[in-house]
């Protein structure tokens, strides 16, 4: 079901959370505690981060456990905002970096998804693609349901929806088709995370953290089911989906 973490705060090395925390994403590659099934996330990984007024992106088709160069990068960079995702691929998909999140568009937006669209490979994919604008459909490179969800969100943004409003399409897909829809959208000055039938936690203080699971024994708030977390420079708030 994948796992992800989003960070917003003073610059840190992502390794502090992704590699060194007591329940780091590295640990969750083989020992996730709160997934709906299984414990392994060994089908690729990726990250997006903001540093020196630039947003950068890395994806890999190999697991974080087998990517020493990627782990080295996590230790050497410093970022004030980042999103990191480890992947458990859904049946029928392939293991390749084009299918690893975060997915990116041409305007510095990033997207991750922990979950699945029910019956995606039994006709639902074509139904969803019919709702995607031609321009966004042409930008789909992989074979995942997650990237199609991102294209739907981008189509809403292109039509003038705000980042928060664009999350309405996630609710529509979930209610129409079923599945699990914990997503993260990073759109410039906003990070949005949703909880829909999967675990999600938030911690707010000197930095804002959103994570599929608590990364340590500190106090984390469990995000209520069917809730959206919005992180900006003004802080963290929650809204119903």
Q: Each residue of 87-124: pLDDT tens digit?
A: 999 888 899 999 999 999 988 899 999 999 999 999 99
Neighbours of 151 (CB within 10 A): 25
Query: What is the model's pLDDT at position 51?
Result: 80
Asked if residue 123 has a cis previous peptide bond (ω within 30° of 0), the answer is no
| Residue 12, beta-bridge partner list | 79
Q: Which runs of E-coded beta strand occur in 28-149? A: 45-51, 54-60, 79-86, 103-104, 109-117
Helix spans in the chain (H):
15-18, 25-31, 68-76, 125-129, 134-138, 145-158, 163-166, 168-177
pTM over 0.85: yes
The full set of domain ranges for the chain reads 3-240
Q: pLDDT digit string (tens) for 59-85?
A: 999 999 999 999 999 999 999 999 999
pLDDT for res 53: 77
Residue 219 · residue 225 · CB < 8 Å: no
**Beta strands 79-86 and 45-51: pairing type?**
antiparallel
| CATH architecture of the domain formed by 3-240 | 4-Layer Sandwich (3.60)
Distances in whole angstroms, Cα of residue 51 to Cα of each of 42, 81, 108: 27, 8, 13
| pLDDT of res. 91 | 82
Helix, strand or coil, per DSSP, at residue 217: coil
Q: What is the pLDDT along the chain (241 residues), one digit of tens a residue?
A: 799 999 999 999 999 999 999 999 999 999 999 987 789 999 999 999 998 778 999 999 999 999 999 999 999 999 999 999 999 998 888 999 999 999 999 888 999 999 999 999 999 999 999 999 999 999 999 999 999 999 999 999 999 999 999 999 999 999 999 999 999 999 988 999 999 999 999 999 999 999 999 999 999 999 999 999 999 999 999 999 9
pLDDT value of residue 191 = 97
For the chain, the first-to-last Cα distance in angstroms comes to 21
Q: What is the pLDDT of residue 118?
A: 95
């Amino acid at each position: 079901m994948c796992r992800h973490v989003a960070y917003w705060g003073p610059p840190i090395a992502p390794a502090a959370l992704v590699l060194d925390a007591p329940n780091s994403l590295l640990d969750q590659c083989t020992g996730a505690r709160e997934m709906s099934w299984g414990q392994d996330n060994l089908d690729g990984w990726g990250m997006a981060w903001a540093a020196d007024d630039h947003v950068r992106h890395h994806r890999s088709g190999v697991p974080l456990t087998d990517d020493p160069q990627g782990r080295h990068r996590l230790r050497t960079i410093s970022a004030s905002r980042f999103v990191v995702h480890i992947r458990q691929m859904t049946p029928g998909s392939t293991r390749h970096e084009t299918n690893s999140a975060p997915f990116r568009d041409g305007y510095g937006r990033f997207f991750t998804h922990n979950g699945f669209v029910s019956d995606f490979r039994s006709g639902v994919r074509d139904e969803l693609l019919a709702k995607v604008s031609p321009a966004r459909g042409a930008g789909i490179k992989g074979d995942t349901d997650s990237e199609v969800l991102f294209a739907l969100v981008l189509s809403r943004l292109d039509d003038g929806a705000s980042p928060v409003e664009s999350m309405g399409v996630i609710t529509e897909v979930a209610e129409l088709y079923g599945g699990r829809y914990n997503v993260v959208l990073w759109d410039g000055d906003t990070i949005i995370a949703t909880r829909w039938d999967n675990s999600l936690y938030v911690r707010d203080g000197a930095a804002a953290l959103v994570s599929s699971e608590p990364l340590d024994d500190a106090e984390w708030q469990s995000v209520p089911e069917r809730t959206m977390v919005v992180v900006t420079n003004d802080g963290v708030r929650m809204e119903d989906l």
